[in-house]
A and B are shown apart, each in its own frame.
Chain A
């Protein structure tokens, strides 16, 4: 994933310098990720996906000068995609917040929105008590086994399993409840 970010950023910077080949490659590269991003969030309106992808590619092209070369490309592109999605939903007059996916999906997924998701995830995880939070982070993000994570955080292995399970349930319930919205 880091390699992909570096590759996309390299293409972006070459594009900013006026290299049409790099620019075509970049737009082609991110197109499937954009399509996936929009499709997942357009429940029942998947037909709009391609329009939104085109809209977003045009926006990325037209606003490319707002990219800061020292920052992650994926976060920038994701912020534009998200803006275009919200604008699209608003235009349709639907009062609709962009839902956060179920926590499990977030934890497993690596897509164009990786960097930003990680930040959103941090926010989400902050609703857990600190010890449980550490445990979840170690197991689901840090790549530790349950036994290792339990030892690190002073749980027995059985208790750790239960705690992780409960934490994920809490998180899932939180992202599903309509009271929690993505900040605009």
Chain B
């Protein structure tokens, strides 16, 4: 095809374009899928109704949801050519920093004898693995939702998408996980999200071409 004809053809079918983004419905759908994954694979925590009335459940959800929000901003920035992602990255680090601070304060208020329990809980050895497992349910929707974007840095964008997936999965995982200490959540939930980001970077290299 001649380039002139191509330009003619592109202009002829032009429709108004609204700013590209991951539609919130994809994110909501991904959370729904992750919640279904938790129920199918792991089951809800038996004391869920009681947990819903206390602050700890919601603080955990707040952390992972804030991570998801920061990751979503990062994804949106990286998905726009020539837009810097520095501020979005700072936002992400701010969320992690705030959680670390919170965990540090909680640890300082905990007797030293209880530190290892506060940090490792009863489920540290499979928390991150479970978050990855749940991520598998959320990932297809998130990655499909990202198609309108134009990531010029596939690995970085893949990592951000993986982090978003992991953070959504971690939020859903709170429906199963009975752990209640901030040091635990900051360590093992964050590890699960980071692993998801790592896998996302590897996948992004191949899957995000356009």
Report which A residues bind B (CB closer than 8 A).
15-21, 23-24, 27-28, 31, 50, 53-54, 57-59, 61-68, 71-72, 75-76, 78-80, 82-83, 87, 116, 184
State A20–B79 Cα separation when bound (angstroms): 25
Contact A16 B6 (CB under 8 A): no
State A72–B210 Cα separation when bound (angstroms): 22
- With a CB–CB cut-off of 8 A, which chain B residues contact A68? 19, 80, 83
Contact B19 A24 (CB under 8 A): no
Number of A-B contacts (CB under 8 A): 83
Chain B: interface size category: 20 to 34
User: Which chain B residues numbered 62 to 87 have a C-beta less than 8 Å away from chain A?
Assistant: 79-83
What's the dominant secondary structure at chain A's contact region?
helix
Closest to A80 in B: B81
- With a CB–CB cut-off of 8 A, which chain A residues contact B19? 65-66, 68
- With a CB–CB cut-off of 8 A, which chain B residues contact A62? 210
Contact B16 A80 (CB under 8 A): no
Shortest distance between the CB of B177 and any CB in chain A (Å): 37
- With a CB–CB cut-off of 8 A, which chain B residues contact A82? 152
Report which B residues bind A (CB closer than 8 A).
1, 3, 6-8, 10-12, 14-20, 79-83, 148-150, 152-153, 209-210
| Residue from the list B10, B14, B153 in contact with A57, Cβ < 8 A | B10
State A91–B109 Cα separation when bound (angstroms): 57
- With a CB–CB cut-off of 8 A, which chain B residues contact A28? 7
* 15 residue pairs from A and B, CB less than 8 Å apart: A15-B14, A20-B12, A23-B10, A23-B14, A27-B7, A54-B6, A64-B17, A65-B20, A65-B148, A66-B148, A66-B149, A68-B80, A76-B81, A80-B150, A116-B82
